[in-house]
Amino acid sequence: MNTYRKTVMDNGITVISEEIDRVRSLSLGVWVNCGSRNEEHKTNGAAHFIEHMLFKGTKRRTAFDIASEIDSVGGILNACTGKELTSFYVKIPDYHLPLAIDLLADLLKDSVFDPEEMEKEKSVILQEIRMVEDTPDDFIHDFFGKAFWDGHPLSLPVLGTEDSVRGIGRETLLDIFNRYYRGSRLVLTVAGRLRHNELVSLVGEALGSVTPAEGGNGQGAPTPVAKVAVLEKDLEQVHMIIGSPGHTFSDPARYAGFIMNTVLGGSMSSRLFQEVREKRGLAYAVHSYLVSYRDAGMFGIYVGTADEKVGEVLDVIFDELRKLKADLLTDKELFSAKEQIKGRFLLSMESTDTRMTRLAKNEIYLGRHLSFDEAIANLEAVSAEEVRGVARTLLNKDAVSVAAIGRVTERDITANMPDL
């Protein structure tokens, strides 16, 4: 039986564990309430830059020491920066928990931000930005976000821009690091074979000196902007995203959104995949997806197609959207979607990485533990009427935006935009 436990340290750091005795590994993550959303245009990319620099050396360890210590025990060390969160995580054999805590604490407390290493890493990040820009099916997401969240920090790309990254100095990184890598902005989660009391004791020794956090994030909720944005570029395909406002992470309606997304474009048996690819051969890749933040969300559809097929693809996609708004799902579709979501959820829960991540996000966004049974009960309670209601709310013709990159003009999109 898995055991969930939570402790809040005196300095505000939240420590959460899920004890799973049947495994011999553990996944440990430190989650920081800081991402690109906490930046301004001139500092865009700083959160991601900090993530890189924490691997470049501390007062006790060189960059090579950091990598080799984890490699020497067969472990995995990595990090990720998003719009709202930055995470540093380790997966190791269970008996190396003290090493994992000591290493992550060293990165969080005593990274040196060496100026020479900064310049080298800045060059690496600039290459990373160019790599994304050279990959249109990746870059389209940043391009859409800039238009959709226009004027709000959520519109900023996680990596930053070449201009903003070039302008970021050591003092900027240290200012953001000292402001956000503190107390109640840190959540440490572990899933695997461990004992919570031992974990708390180790965290207290390693991170007890971290100072409490001050202040909030100081941001209001974004207001999505409905528009058509086009970047004309000589590409083999036109890459498009059609998007509308979605649900926040804590919105109960998101369970109906999960089902709507699954039916529309969440798998190979979905309506969009079958209509756009299988029946008509209009695209190789087409799918829908959901993105949730603490006070906003987005529902999106991605498709890559030939430039002469843009109008036909838009017709097919909008026809499927109109059907979702007009008609109830059949009992078979509703049951199948629920089973698909449950099955994926169950399979993902075999991973301690997934469990560790869920512990963190539920704490950060919900402020509590959301059990598997509760999540499944919420999903099972969704009716076909609720799914149609969500479709009618989200797929409002005055709220839908389209972004496209390729051999296409804004006029090509607007002239072919069907009605919802």
Integer angstrom CA distances of residue 363 from 26, 99, 249, 378: 19, 25, 11, 18
Sole residue written with tokens 């097929």: 309
- Residue-wise DSSP of 25-64: EEEEEEEES-SGGG--GGGTTHHHHHHHHTTS-BSS--HH
C-alpha to C-alpha distance for 99 and 92, rounded to whole angstroms: 9
Instruction: Give the torsion through C-alpha atoms of 314, 316, 321, 323, to 10 deg.
Output: 150
Please answer whether residues 146 and 155 qualify as being in contact, where contact means their C-beta atoms are separated by less than 8 angstroms: yes
Please, what is the Cα angle at 359 between 358 and 363, to 5 degrees?
Answer: 110
Token code pair at residue 346: 């169950």
Strands 297-305 and 238-245: antiparallel
Type of residue at 67: A
Integer angstrom CA distances of residue 143 from 46, 136, 149, 321, 351: 19, 10, 10, 23, 33
Please answer whether residues 406 and 140 qualify as being in contact, where contact means their C-beta atoms are separated by less than 8 angstroms: no
C-alpha to C-alpha distance for 130 and 152, rounded to whole angstroms: 23
Is residue 312 annotated as a catalytic residue, yes or no?
no
Which one of the listed residues 18, 51, 69, 320 is annotated catalytic? 51
Please answer whether residues 90 and 100 qualify as being in contact, where contact means their C-beta atoms are separated by less than 8 angstroms: yes
What is the set of active-site residues? 51
